[in-house]
Structures are given as structure tokens and as C-alpha cells.
Structure 1
């Protein structure tokens, strides 16, 4: 269990020393500051879990300092105010500015420890609520029950007990994020945060700020490495990362420290990194698109997720899971697949893997009627049924379709994939595809691709 880090700000040395001794005896990590200036410096050095702030200090008093943090959006942890000359008005003002509580001096050790415990617990619940809202639309699907997947999950559980970096490979939509979360939940860091970044949806000019944060005067924007401190940072599609960010990330992982953009102090970060890629990184290294040293740093252990067509026995499980999930989440009428429809979908090629399967089930529930989802409805939703069959040479039969039909099949899968990558943003999809937005909207409607529900 990681120790909460508490910053004690008080201009009286005896009080700082006493509080520090008490808190360290209680197994907290403690930093101290004797003024607003040294407090700002301490906050630039690391991200604290709680701050004890004295009101009466020379130059800048505690309420003014709290107000500065509150108005600039830098109040990133609970603040407990302390004073030997406090008034009700002062306590009310401090609470209005965001302080968690107000303690009178001389401090009662029992009350101090109880207030700290409650403040940290309240912050934990607050963060859990934020995470719950953030991931309320994130589907924690099973990866499957096939022998390949069960072996993979066993390897993931073993790796979870060791703090090694892991590289996940596999086709788009094969479940790399789900596996990363599984590793985190079976690791010694499971009580810490799980932070995700898809490098494909950030631009090169803000990638460094996203990773490392930014300092603008006394204002601090915390980056993903600090937010993931004592937890796991999952970097999705790391092969798309630009060269400058690769260089900075390599340095941060090697030294376990970094500087925020615009900052000068070294910030410590205890983070486990799990990265994923759909690309052949060794080929990218040969082409000068990926750093060899970063590749070997990340690739301590490598897990490969097979595509759905290589583990067809998992398809019925996934079909049923998503069927029940969307029925409950969107309050849709109950429906079930006929045996013929399920068998057809089990033989389908699923070029988009689990992501495509999920989208198909959702469309069938939203657009369909009746208690059963039959073969004809499935074929209509998928387009030409021939695309779902694999030839003996492992070549999709839709290659034998007329060019117009085959192109429509490809466009549908292509646009569906990139729309998911961009979280339903048609603007970003237009940039990726090079299509004018009006034409793109018409294309999406013509192909029956839903984009509003992906946001």
C-alpha cells in the first residue's frame, strides 16, 4: 500500500516538526514548508495527497494562498486549515474557497488524525465517483473462454504480480485495453489509478503536455504520468507516438522522473506502463519511425491477442454478453439470436474483431424488431452475406464480389473502425479520411453507420 503524501505549511518550526513526527509515526509521507513561497516550490516538486495549511503566516497568509489555488484551478487535493486565532468568518471563508475542514490550535492529535483520515477517504470516494462516471460507458467485456484466451489470462495474472512493463500486440479491436485493465486488476497496483491514453487521438503539439503536464507561473496542470502515480498508465497504439514524445517518455521511464513543460524541477513518478500496438514496431524501427531503445524498454514482456477469426469459439459468448449489456444499458426490448443467425455470425470474418461485433449487436438491437434476431436480419445489417465467409485459402469471399459491392463493404468497416478510434468525432474522422464533412455525413448515413452513440 502506497503512503499518502502530506504537505505541512506552517511558519512555526516547532509545530512543523511536531506534526511531521506524528504523521510519520502514522505511516504518512510528509513534506514541510515555512511560507507561501516554499509551499509553491514543494507543490512543484510533486503532487500531494493532502495539505495542512496554517492561516497566519508572514507575507502571504493561508487564506490568500488557498484562494490563489482555488481560482487558478490548482486545488488538486484536500486542504485542512489550521489556526490559533481563527474566527467563524475565517472558517466559513476557507470552506467557501474549497478547504475540507478547519482545525484550531493547539491541535488535538486525535482530531488531527481523524480529520486527515476522513479527508483522504472523502477524496478517494470523490475520485472513484469521477472514475465511475468517466468509464460508465466503457464496456468491460470478457475476452473469451477459448484455450488461447485462458492461457493468455493465466500469463497476464502471473505478469501482474511483477512490476514489469508489458507490450500488448494484436489487430485493432482485439481487446488490448480489456487485457491491460485485467493485468492492472491482478497486480500489486490495483488500488492505484488506471489511466489510459490513446496516442492516435492527441495531436503532436499537445502530446508532451498530456504526458508530462505544464507549469505556467504558480499554476500547475498535472499530466498523465503524475495522475497515474502508484498505478498503471496504459498507452494505446504507442506506435503512433511522435519522435519527441518518444524521446521524453524514454528519459522519464529510465530515470523515473521528468520535468513538466515550462517547469524546472524534477518530478518523481512511480508508474507501471503497459503499451499496445497494432503495428510491427520492429519494422517501424527499421523505417526510422520508432526508437529501438524505447521498444526494448517497453517490451520486457509481450502478450499477443489473437483475432476473432482465430478463436471462433469465443464469438457466442461475446454475442450474448453484448446482447445483454445493451438491453440493460439502453433499456431495449429483450431479443435473442436464432441458432442459424448465431452460427452465421460465428463463421463471420470480423475484420474489426470485438469492436465490430459490439457495434453490430448494438445496431441489431436498436434497429430491429421482434423477439428473435434471425439470419435474414443479420445479413441485411452486415450487407453482403458473402463477406462473412472465409475461403479454404483464408481469403475473404467478398473479394469475388463486384467492385461496387466489395468497396461498400470495405468502406463500412474502414469508417466504423476510424470512427471508434476518434470516439465518434466526425470532424476528426474527416481529417483522417481526407473527406469533406458534408460528403462524409452522407456516406455514413448511406452505409448505415451510427456515430452519435460512439461519443
Structure 2
């Protein structure tokens, strides 16, 4: 992982030199700017992890720069303001605009270094809680004592020691994101960001801006690739990436640099890319839907996660794991599976893989009662799953009026495929042969929330 990048903005050469030397000795990467325009160029060239900003500059004051850099969600990096003749009003205004702290000159270098350290730590914690890691959760290793899962964990731990790109393949719901997070957690980049991009849910017209950011005048939007600097960019459903974005990504992978949409200068990044797909990417290449050169760049280390039916002996461990997780994190009542129920679930085919098992456990904890989940309750839950898979073959459905039977089938059909795809509406729309906007209306009419049905992959 690369060291934090600090931008020092001050018009006094001696102060710039002193701060550059002191911060470099502490292991930081340091860049300096002598005025506001140079600061704008430096920030555009590379997003700093922290800015030391003098209030009084020859061309523009620091407050103006703070206002320029303050987006809808505040500043995109911590800023420590410095001034030799600051006032209370200036300090208050800087803080109101999002500055982390206000330091008076002459600077106490000990206090400066402590403030820098605390600002970077605060930014890291904020990023983990509400920023870049949008769905942060405790990192779990893949669950299971089977030979398959033991071998998979060992393989991931070996791969994590290297910085190569990884392509994770596996059926929908098999736990690709969990595996990617575990790989990141085992690597030297573990303290860096893990930025998750659901490629399939990004509108095609927004995908380049979402990934690579944009520039318009002095306004700079930092994309996910730049946000992942020093850490990992996880590309979920990479097969759904449009051709133009594939070309941009290929260039970024080859050069470790890219241009923002509307930008003219290259931006360098240090990012490990982990991509994931439930499709056969080789077939996508043969069919002309995915670039062959990008495929080979992403597939440096292939990693296959097996479907649950191939390691069904892990089902009891997974049941216990998710029961404990929902009890601890969602305050659901504790219930245990009887031995007969566990054996029945070991024999189930799990078309939706670990995600389906997770959803089943959650549903049984929410809707059931009593300390034990028995065979009869499990059979009923699997019967509902069978309805989703078999539709009109379920008992009693053929006796309903046509309209009710059709609605029941449609509801079961879409819930099944949303669960199997992890809530991927685009994928279900393609499978069903309907427009995505039409599918959204249909789901709303049927009372289906894709997020609740699909959960997370």
C-alpha cells in the first residue's frame, strides 16, 4: 500500500521546504504548491489524502479554495488550515467549510505532525463507516470445514501475498464479494480502501464518470478508481461493463493511469483490481461482448468459488453461522435447527447458493417461533422455494382464478430469479425478456422490493 499523499499549499518557500522535509522523514509522500492555481492543478493531477493549506496566498485566499473543494458531501479529503495572522472569525469560517483543524504560525512541528496523524486516522474511520466502503461489514473468512473450502481459503491466503489482479468466478449468490473482502483483508493493502462497484447496476451513460471521475472547469469529481487508490477496486458483475468503459479500464490497467471524463491530464493510481463474474467470460469474449485483451489483463490469477451443492457438508456450519450473525447483528431471536432439518437442508440443491441459505435462515428467524426449527418448518420453507422454481406445478395453484394464479406465478418467478441473482434487476430483466423500466413497474405492482429479496452477494 502506498504512503498517504499530502499536498502543502503555502507561498513561503522556506515553509514549503521545511514541511516537505519533515513530512517526508515521517514516511509521507509530499507535493507542494506556491499559490491557489498551483494547488488546483496539483489536486486535479492527483487526489491528495490530506491538504495543509495556508489562508493567505498571493492569488486567492484559502477560504475560497475550501469553498471550491467543498462538494455536496463536504470536503473529499481532510484539510488543515494554517495562518500567521488568523482571526477567530477565519478559524470559525474554515471549520464551517469542513476544515479538520486550524493551526497558527509559527508552527509547532510536534503539534502539526500529531494533527496530521489524527486527521488521516479520522478520515480512515469516516471512510470505513459511511464513505467509500458503502456496505462495510466485519470481514468473514469463507465458512466451512470441507476440503473444498479449506483449499479455497489456503489459495486465497497465498494469492493475497502478491499484488496481482484476480478474477473470481462463481454462480450468483456463491459469495464472491465475501471472498474478495477476505482476500483484501489478508493482503498488505488491508488498511487501504475496499471500493465495491456493482457494474450491472450502473447506468451505461454514467459508467465512465462513476469509475473514472470527471472534470468541468475547476470542479473535479473523483471516481471509484481514484477513491480506491492504495487499496482494492472490486468490480462486481464485470461482464456487464459496456465496451467504452472496457476500453478505458484496459488503458488504466496497462498504464496505472487514466484521464477523468472531460480531463486532459493523466492521473496516476496504485490500485489492485479484483473482478468477479457469474458468467463464462471466455464465452463472452468469443461472442464479442467482452474485450479479449481486457479479459487476459484481469484474469492474471483465476479464482473459482464452488456452488454450495458441491460442498453440502458445510451446510450445518453455514446455518449456525448465519443464525449467530442475525442474532448478534439484527437482534433476531435465537433458534437452532434440529438434526433432521439440517440433514434435509444438506440434501437440498441450493440453486441460489449461500445467498439463498442466508435468506432462508433470516426468514425462519423472523417468521418462526419456538427454540427449534424442525423438519416440518423447513419443508414448508422449501415448498415456498419450490413454488418459486416450479410455479404452477404447486398444489392448489391450478384451482385459482387465472388472474390470481398468474400473479402468484409472476411473484414467485421474479422473487426466485432476484434471489438467485442477488437482486440484480438488469440481469432478471434480460433473463425474462422485458425492459428494465417495465420490470421495475411490475415489481412494484407485485409488492416486491429487489433489495430485500436479493440481499447482497
Do the two structures share a fold, i.e. TM-score over 0.5?
yes
Residue in structure 1 matched with residue 51 of structure 2 by the alignment: 51
Query: 1:267–1:368: structure 2 CA closer, same or farther, 3 Å change rule?
Result: same
Deviations 1:233-262 (A, max 9, x none): 111111111111111000001000001111
CA contact (8 A) 2:141 2:182 kept: no
Q: CA deviation at 1:330?
A: 2.8
- Secondary structure of 2:309 counterpart: helix
Residue in structure 2 matched with residue 17 of structure 1 by the alignment: 17
Greater displacement, 268-277 / 126-135: 126-135
Q: CA deviation at 1:112?
A: 2.1
Deviations 1:2-61 (A, max 9, x none): 321111111122221222122222222111111111110110000111111111112311
Partner Cα separation in structure 2 for residue 248 and residue 286 of structure 1: 20
1:126 counterpart = 2:126: yes
Greater displacement, 296-305 / 333-342: 333-342
2:417 aligned to 414, 421, 426, which one?
Answer: 414
Residue in structure 2 matched with residue 312 of structure 1 by the alignment: 312
CA contact (8 A) 1:74 1:221 kept: no
Deviations 1:247-291 (A, max 9, x none): 100000100000111111111111101111111111111110010
- Secondary structure of 1:420 counterpart: coil
Greater displacement, 17-26 / 145-154: 17-26
Deviations 1:184-220 (A, max 9, x none): 1111111111111111111111111111011122122
Q: CA deviation at 1:106?
A: 2.3
Q: CA deviation at 1:156?
A: 0.8
Superposed, which structure 2 residues align to 1:255-404 within 5 Å?
A: 255-383=255-383
- Secondary structure of 1:106 counterpart: coil
CA contact (8 A) 1:336 1:372 kept: yes
Partner Cα separation in structure 2 for residue 139 and residue 370 of structure 1: 31
Greater displacement, 96-105 / 174-183: 96-105
Partner Cα separation in structure 1 for residue 306 and residue 71 of structure 2: 50
Residue in structure 1 matched with residue 241 of structure 2 by the alignment: 241
Query: 1:110–1:303: structure 2 CA closer, same or farther, 3 Å change rule?
Result: same
Query: 1:443–1:399: structure 2 CA closer, same or farther, 3 Å change rule?
Result: closer
Residue in structure 1 matched with residue 190 of structure 2 by the alignment: 190
Q: CA deviation at 1:83?
A: 1.7
Q: Which runs of 5+ in 1 are unaligned?
A: 389-395
CA contact (8 A) 1:52 1:82 kept: yes
Greater displacement, 240-249 / 27-36: 27-36
Partner Cα separation in structure 2 for residue 49 and residue 386 of structure 1: 51
Q: Which runs of 5+ in 2 are unaligned?
A: 399-407
Partner Cα separation in structure 2 for residue 439 and residue 256 of structure 1: 41
Residue in structure 1 matched with residue 452 of structure 2 by the alignment: 451
Query: 1:384–1:120: structure 2 CA closer, same or farther, 3 Å change rule?
Result: closer
What TM-score does the superposition give when structure 1 sets the normalisation length? 0.88
Residue in structure 2 matched with residue 30 of structure 1 by the alignment: 30
Query: 1:344–1:432: structure 2 CA closer, same or farther, 3 Å change rule?
Result: farther
Partner Cα separation in structure 1 for residue 454 and residue 413 of structure 2: 21
Superposed, which structure 2 residues align to 1:417-428 within 5 Å?
A: 417-418=420-421, 420-422=423-425
Deviations 1:334-357 (A, max 9, x none): 211122211111100100101111
CA contact (8 A) 1:212 1:258 kept: yes
Deviations 1:304-347 (A, max 9, x none): 11111111111111111112222233322221112221111110
Deviations 1:141-188 (A, max 9, x none): 733221011111111111100111111111111111111111111111
Deviations 1:340-377 (A, max 9, x none): 21111110010010111111111111111222212222
CA contact (8 A) 2:355 2:422 kept: no
Greater displacement, 214-223 / 307-316: 214-223
- Secondary structure of 2:31 counterpart: strand
Number of residues of Structure 1 aligned to a counterpart in Structure 2: 441
CA contact (8 A) 2:167 2:275 kept: yes
Residue in structure 2 matched with residue 437 of structure 1 by the alignment: 441
Partner Cα separation in structure 2 for residue 136 and residue 333 of structure 1: 24
Partner Cα separation in structure 2 for residue 108 and residue 439 of structure 1: 61
- Secondary structure of 2:423 counterpart: helix
Superposed, which structure 2 residues align to 1:75-114 within 5 Å?
A: 75-114=75-114
CA contact (8 A) 2:229 2:269 kept: yes
Q: CA deviation at 1:124?
A: 2.3
Residue in structure 2 matched with residue 391 of structure 1 by the alignment: none
Partner Cα separation in structure 2 for residue 435 and residue 138 of structure 1: 33
Deviations 1:119-145 (A, max 9, x none): 222222322332698435688473322
